[in-house]
Amino acid sequence: MVAAVVSGMLSFHGAQAQQTAPAESSKAAQATAQSTIRVERLSGAIAKVHFSNAPINFIVPDTIAGLNEAVKSLSKDEQVKVVIFVSDTKGYFYNHFDTNQFPAFLGQHGAGNRPLWVELITNLSNAPFISIASIRGRTQGGGNELALAFDLRYASKEKAIFDQPEVGIGLFPGGGGTDMLAQLAGRDRALEAFLSSDDYSAELAEKYGWVTRALPDAQLDGFVDRLADRLASFDKTALVTTKQRINEMVFPKEAERMASYTAFTKSLAWPGLQQRLPVFGRLYQEVGLEKVESNMGRYVGEGNKQLQVNDKARK
């Protein structure tokens, strides 16, 4: 049943993307054929991980594999104290998973046959360095769940938007975000964010504890660079031990992330998702891939309104 629904999702996103935006789809395929992850060494103690999968930064299997390898490699380097994560694609930080590649995602496994996504978040949380997300652009779905796993998150007030659209399309958000945001924002705000499937500004995200701090866009890069330099001047043992102890107190355990991932895979067979696939497929086709992706909260709402209209018409 899961395989059948995944196959259906190909028409929801993949085929519609090709019909509405062939140039963008071609660019995305070209970027995926290369690596979507690039590691830059700024100094002995500081590294920067760049993500780019133009035009709209979908997470693809290479992204997860590339990030996991980068985290493992940097974790082995005793000099590294701080790693900054950025996007090189205008308008997007990390976007949601490319639904056209769900079969490949579900087939990715790491050590002990763990889903590679779960292993990535575990490796990131346990990494012996401080991870800093410099967020400029839309951060949605699995991309937002990844962002929540970074130690520190700084967002552009003008250009960062956050959204978890899964519930609105009939899916369970199973990348660990429900576990992490509940710890950061509290039960009611986490419920609002996930159940509404709507867009949240950087300023509201800061108020909720979703991000560490929201900054004017012109100040974001300078602030992150200064903080990285400051942390890099500190003793690594003190940095990492403090991170580990705080994680022990509040960061979700891997077993909790596994439970969320399992719930996600089961949700691929939910009837509610199957009802919504053709509705959202038509939205991608009629409105355009990039327009829908850049206004996700709005179009999740419009898709469900259309479903209600269709239900009333059948009655």
Task: Confirm if 112 and 133 have CB atoms less than 8 A apart.
Answer: no
pLDDT at 254: 95
Phi, psi (5° rounding) for residue 238?
-65, -40
pLDDT reading at 29 higher than 50: no
pLDDT at 15: 39
pLDDT reading at 21 higher than 70: no
d(CA 45, CA 42): 8
DSSP 112: G
The runs of H, that is alpha helices, within 22-138 are 22-33, 61-76, 102-106, 116-126
pLDDT reading at 22 higher than 70: no
Pairing of strands 213-215, 152-163: parallel
**Token pair listed for 67:** 């990030």
pTM above 0.85, yes or no: yes
Pairing of strands 200-201, 152-163: antiparallel
174 — pLDDT class (breaks 50, 70, 90): very high
Please provide the average confidence, as pLDDT, over all residues in the chain.
90
Q: DSSP for 7-29, please give it.
A: HHHIIIIIIHHHHH-HHHHHHHH
pLDDT reading at 151 higher than 50: yes
d(CA 192, CA 42): 39
Distances (CA, A) of 222 to 134, 164, 216, 274: 10, 28, 11, 46
pLDDT tens by residue, 202-216: 999 999 999 999 999
The runs of H, that is alpha helices, within 77-185 are 102-106, 116-126, 142-149, 177-185
pLDDT reading at 17 higher than 90: no
Least confident of 2-6, 193-197, 207-211, 219-223: 2-6
Structural domains for the chain: 22-268 (3.90.226.10)
pLDDT at 313: 74
Distances (CA, A) of 68 to 46, 106, 159: 18, 16, 27
Give 290-311 as a 3 state SS string. Answer: HHHHCCHHHHHHHHHHHHHHHH
pLDDT reading at 31 higher than 90: no
Residue with tokens 């659209």: 165
pLDDT at 35: 93
pLDDT at 49: 98
Q: In the predicted model, what is the mean pLDDT of residues 3-11?
A: 47
Amino acid residing at 13? H
11 — pLDDT class (breaks 50, 70, 90): very low
248 — pLDDT class (breaks 50, 70, 90): very high
310 — pLDDT class (breaks 50, 70, 90): confident
pLDDT reading at 8 higher than 70: no
DSSP 253: P
pLDDT tens by residue, 51-73: 999 999 999 999 999 999 999 99
**Token pair listed for 176:** 């660990």
d(CA 174, CA 240): 28
The alpha carbon of 164 is separated from its chain's Cα centroid by a whole number of angstroms, namely: 9
**Token pair listed for 228:** 């990285």
| Number of C-beta neighbours around residue 227 at 10 A | 19
Least confident of 13-17, 111-115, 121-125, 158-162: 13-17
d(CA 223, CA 241): 24
Q: In the predicted model, what is the mean pLDDT of residues 226-255?
A: 97
